[in-house]
Amino acid sequence: GAVVSQHPSWVICKSGTSVKIECRSLDFQATTMFWYRQFPKQSLMLMATSNEGSKATYEQGVEKDKFLINHASLTLSTLTVTSAHPEDSSFYICSASGGSRNEQFFGPGTRLTVL
Amino acid sequence: DAKTTQPTSMDCAEGRAANLPCNHSTISGNEYVYWYRQIHSQGPQYIIHGLKNNETNEMASLIITEDRKSSTLILPHATLRDTAVYYCIVRPLNRDDKIIFGKGTRLHILP
């Protein structure tokens, strides 16, 4: 299947700092990318949908000024958690759709720990 | 809100077939049944999808009832590596549509 990567795989930061997570589609052009958040023992919660070259669409309750999403190219989307706090500690997962297959492909996830 | 209902957890002996049920009584005519799984601390992995006919691939089989209100994912010979949370999702075929995950079924494969 198609490959989606995320970087970094884990990150620890101090409260108040900003953290950027990258999501890349390695072997196809991703017209749409999605960002999810997952707390321990819970399901994935969709945060936002991003289309290349346009503003992201955020789900209800997700602060767009806190979770900045940029989808500047067909192979890269970034999620920046601004002024991170301990409650932002979570597993962040992206998915991408595009190419010749009618599916979404998920990245391996990024574990964020805010001290 | 997720449109599916799944058991919270299931156990299956290694080497046996694992049958995971899913109810989707409000499925629309243009919606497919998709199955994903998530192994601990990894991203979800696509397994299979179908509209109304039974489907089989190298990973699993999908049995959809004639009225399409329920389905069963079958892992024919479960191994320890199949221990994961399995998500049943109904959605249109459009790959650009967002996926809303329910709580899924936590499948434990027992040695």
Q: What is the DSSP string of B55-79?
A: EE-SS-EEEE-TTSSEEEEEETT--
Nearest CA in chain A to B1: A45
Reduced to 3 states (helix: H, G, I; strand: E, B; else coil), residue A52 is: coil
pLDDT score recorded for residue A98: 79
Cβ–Cβ gap A1/B43 under 8 Å: no
pLDDT score recorded for residue A88: 97
Nearest CA-CA partner of B75 in B90, B92, B57, B97: B57
Q: Span B19-42, mean pLDDT?
A: 94
pLDDT score recorded for residue B86: 98
Has residue A95 got a pLDDT over 70? yes
Has residue A76 got a pLDDT over 70? yes
Residue holding tokens 């900045």?
Answer: A68
Tell me which residue in B87, B95, B100 faces A104 most closely, judged by beta carbons.
B95
Residue holding tokens 């500690």?
Answer: A89
Cβ–Cβ gap A32/B44 under 8 Å: no
Range of weakest confidence among A31-35, B10-14, B15-19, B35-39: A31-35
Q: How far apart are the first and last CA of chain A?
A: 36
pLDDT score recorded for residue B25: 95
Partners of B41 on chain A (C-beta within 8 Å) are 91, 109, 111
